C-alpha cells in the first residue's frame, strides 16, 4: 500500500478540489493517498493557518455536542472529530488558535483543531461553574520557549487567575478595582478595569501595574453598559458601551498616555461574540468583511447580524440579552445550533518576561 501511495500522482487542480471537500482530520489523514499530496498539503495548510479570516464557531443542538467552523465569505463548513470525541465540555472561549473548555472537575482542556494539539490543565485553585461562558480566557505563549500562560476571569469572582506552565500552578491576582477584560499587545498582557483604568499584568509577581493615564472616560457598570479592551493593528482600543445601542471607542496613546476618542472605526471591523467578547480587525475587506462595520453573534435569537456605519459615524447596533445560564449549560438540548464565537486561527499571542517592568 505504501508503494502505491509513493508512486501515485494526482493533478494539482484535482488536489485543490479534493481539499475543499475535506474536514480538518481528513486533511491530516489524506497524506498517505498520494505522494504529491504531501507537498500540496504543506502549502495548503501553511496558507490556511496564516489566513486572518475569522471562522464562526457553531455548536450542535444534540445532547452529545459537536463543533463546526464556518467560513462565511467562502461558504465552507469544517468539522473536527478531535473535539467531538471529547465529552462533556463547556465552551469558554477561543485564544491563540485554541478552543478553551472546562470539565465538571474544574479542569481546563485546550484544543487546537487546526494543529491537532491538546493540553489539559488541572485546577483546584478556584471553582468554575460548569456552563458555557462561565469565564473569560486568554492563552499566551512565552517567547522562545514552550511555556504558556492561561489567564482566567470567572464571572462570579473578583480575582484574576493565571496558570503558568513553568510552575505548573495558578497565581491569584487581587486588585482594588475589578479587572473585566485583557488582551496581548507587543508581548505584554494589558488589562482594563470597570473604571476604565489600564494596567499591565506582571508575570513575575501577583501584581497589576496601573498605567498613569492623563484622563479616563466616565463609565457606569449596569446590566447593559460595559467596558471592554481589544488590540488591533498595534493599538489598544477601549470600547465603552453605554447601552445596548450606544457605544464609544477610544484609542490608548501609549506615547502621550492618554485616551483618544474615535469618531468612526475607520478601516477597522468590530466583531461581537456572546458574553460581551469583542475582536477587531484592520483592513477587513481583504478577508471578506467591510470597514466601519460591526458583526454581531446574536445568541438570544440564533442570528448573525451586520451593522453598517457611515463615513462620519460609528455603526448603530442593537445587542440582545444573552440567554439564561440554564440555556447555556452543556447538557441542555437546543432546538437550534447556536453560534458561540469566532476563531482567529492565525493569532498566536506571545509574552515576554523581560518586559515585566513597573510603569
Q: What one-character-per-residue DSSP string does 213-278 give?
A: -S--------SS-EEEEEEETTEEEEEEE-SSS-EEEEEEETTTTEEEEESS-TTEEEEEETTTEE
Mean of all residue pLDDT scores within the chain: 83
The residue among 274, 339, 342 whose CA lies nearest residue 302 is 339
Say if residues 289 and 55 touch (Cβ distance below 8 Å): no
Average pLDDT over residues 99-117: 92
| Per-residue pLDDT reduced to its tens digit, 48-85 | 777 888 999 988 765 556 788 888 888 888 877 777 66
Residue 291: CA count within 13 A, CB half-sphere: 10
Which of 166-175, 238-247, 256-265, 269-278 has the weakest average pLDDT? 238-247
Q: How, if at all, do strands 90-95 and 179-185 pair?
A: unpaired
Q: How, if at all, do strands 258-262 and 247-253 pair?
A: antiparallel
- Alpha-carbon distance 144 to 139, whole Å? 16
- Alpha-carbon distance 333 to 324, whole Å? 14
The residue among 16, 18, 38 whose CA lies nearest residue 28 is 38
Which DSSP letter does residue 105 get?
Answer: T
The residue among 85, 77, 78, 114 whose CA lies nearest residue 99 is 114
Is 265 a residue whose pLDDT tops 90?
yes
Predicted pLDDT of residue 121? 97
Phi/psi of residue 87, each to 5°?
-160, 140
Say if residues 86 and 123 touch (Cβ distance below 8 Å): no
Percent of the chain with pLDDT over 90: 49
Predicted pLDDT of residue 5? 41
Say if residues 87 and 64 touch (Cβ distance below 8 Å): yes
Beta-bridge mates of residue 11: none
Q: Domain limits of the chain?
A: 1-50, 53-174+341-359
In 3-state terms, what secondary structure has residue 177?
A: coil
Which pLDDT band, with edges at 50, 70 and 90, does 335 fall under?
A: very low
Which of 60-69, 77-86, 297-306, 331-340 has the weakest average pLDDT? 331-340
| Per-residue pLDDT reduced to its tens digit, 8-46 | 566 767 766 766 666 666 666 665 566 666 777 677 777
Predicted pLDDT of residue 61? 61
How is the chain split among helix, strand and coil, in percent rounded to 5?
15, 40, 45
Which of 112-121, 144-153, 314-323 has the weakest average pLDDT? 314-323
Predicted pLDDT of residue 7? 47
Predicted pLDDT of residue 116? 82
Predicted pLDDT of residue 147? 93
Predicted pLDDT of residue 85? 65
Q: Three cell numbers at 131? A: 456552563
| Per-residue pLDDT reduced to its tens digit, 209-247 | 999 999 998 887 666 778 999 999 999 999 998 887 788
Q: How, if at all, do strands 169-173 and 179-185 pair?
A: unpaired
Predicted pLDDT of residue 153? 97
Is 264 a residue whose pLDDT tops 80?
yes
Which pLDDT band, with edges at 50, 70 and 90, does 325 fall under?
A: very low
Encode 83-97: b = buried (16+ Cβ within 10 Å), e = exposed. bbeeeebbbbbbbbb
Amino acid at each position: 500500500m505504501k508503494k502505491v501511495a509513493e508512486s501515485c500522482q494526482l493533478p494539482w487542480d484535482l488536489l485543490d478540489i479534493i481539499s475543499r471537500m475535506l474536514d480538518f482530520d481528513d486533511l491530516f489523514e489524506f497524506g498517505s493517498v498520494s505522494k504529491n499530496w504531501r507537498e500540496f498539503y504543506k502549502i495548503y495548510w501553511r496558507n490556511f493557518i496564516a489566513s486572518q479570516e475569522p471562522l464562526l464557531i457553531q455548536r450542535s443542538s444534540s445532547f452529545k455536542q459537536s463543533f463546526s467552523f464556518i467560513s462565511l465569505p467562502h461558504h465552507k463548513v469544517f468539522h473536527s472529530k478531535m473535539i467531538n470525541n471529547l465529552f462533556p465540555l463547556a465552551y469558554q472561549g477561543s485564544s491563540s488558535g485554541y478552543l478553551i473548555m472546562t470539565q465538571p472537575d474544574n479542569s481546563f482542556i485546550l484544543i487546537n483543531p487546526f494543529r491537532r494539539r491538546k493540553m489539559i490543565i488541572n485546577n483546584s485553585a478556584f471553582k468554575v461553574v460548569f456552563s458555557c461562558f462561565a469565564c473569560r480566557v486568554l492563552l499566551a505563549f512565552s517567547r522562545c520557549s514552550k511555556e504558556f500562560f492561561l489567564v482566567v476571569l470567572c464571572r462570579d469572582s473578583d480575582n484574576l487567575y493565571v496558570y503558568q506552565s513553568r510552575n505548573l500552578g495558578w497565581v491569584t491576582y487581587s486588585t482594588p478595582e475589578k479587572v473585566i477584560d485583557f488582551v496581548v499587545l507587543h508581548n505584554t498582557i494589558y488589562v482594563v478595569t470597570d473604571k476604565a483604568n489600564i494596567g499591565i499584568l506582571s508575570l513575575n509577581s501577583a501584581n497589576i501595574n496601573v498605567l498613569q493615564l492623563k484622563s479616563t472616560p466616565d463609565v457606569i457598570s449596569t446590566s447593559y453598559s460595559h467596558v471592554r479592551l481589544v488590540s488591533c493593528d498595534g493599538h489598544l482600543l477601549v470600547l465603552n458601551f453605554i447601552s445596548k445601542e450606544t457605544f464609544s471607542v477610544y484609542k490608548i496613546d501609549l506615547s502621550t498616555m492618554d485616551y483618544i476618542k474615535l469618531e468612526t472605526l475607520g478601516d477597522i471591523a468590530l466583531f461581537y461574540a456572546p458574553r460581551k467578547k469583542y475582536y477587531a480587525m484592520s483592513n477587513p475587506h481583504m478577508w471578506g468583511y467591510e470597514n466601519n462595520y460591526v458583526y454581531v453573534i446574536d445568541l438570544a435569537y440564533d442570528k448573525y447580524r451586520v451593522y453598517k456605519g457611515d463615513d462620519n459615524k460609528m455603526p448603530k447596533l442593537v445587542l440582545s440579552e444573552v440567554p439564561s445560564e440554564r440555556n447555556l449549560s452543556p447538557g441542555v438540548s437546543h432546538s437550534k445550533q447556536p453560534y458561540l464565537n469566532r476563531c482567529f486561527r492565525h493569532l498566536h499571542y506571545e509574552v515576554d518576561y523581560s518586559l515585566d517592568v513597573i510603569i
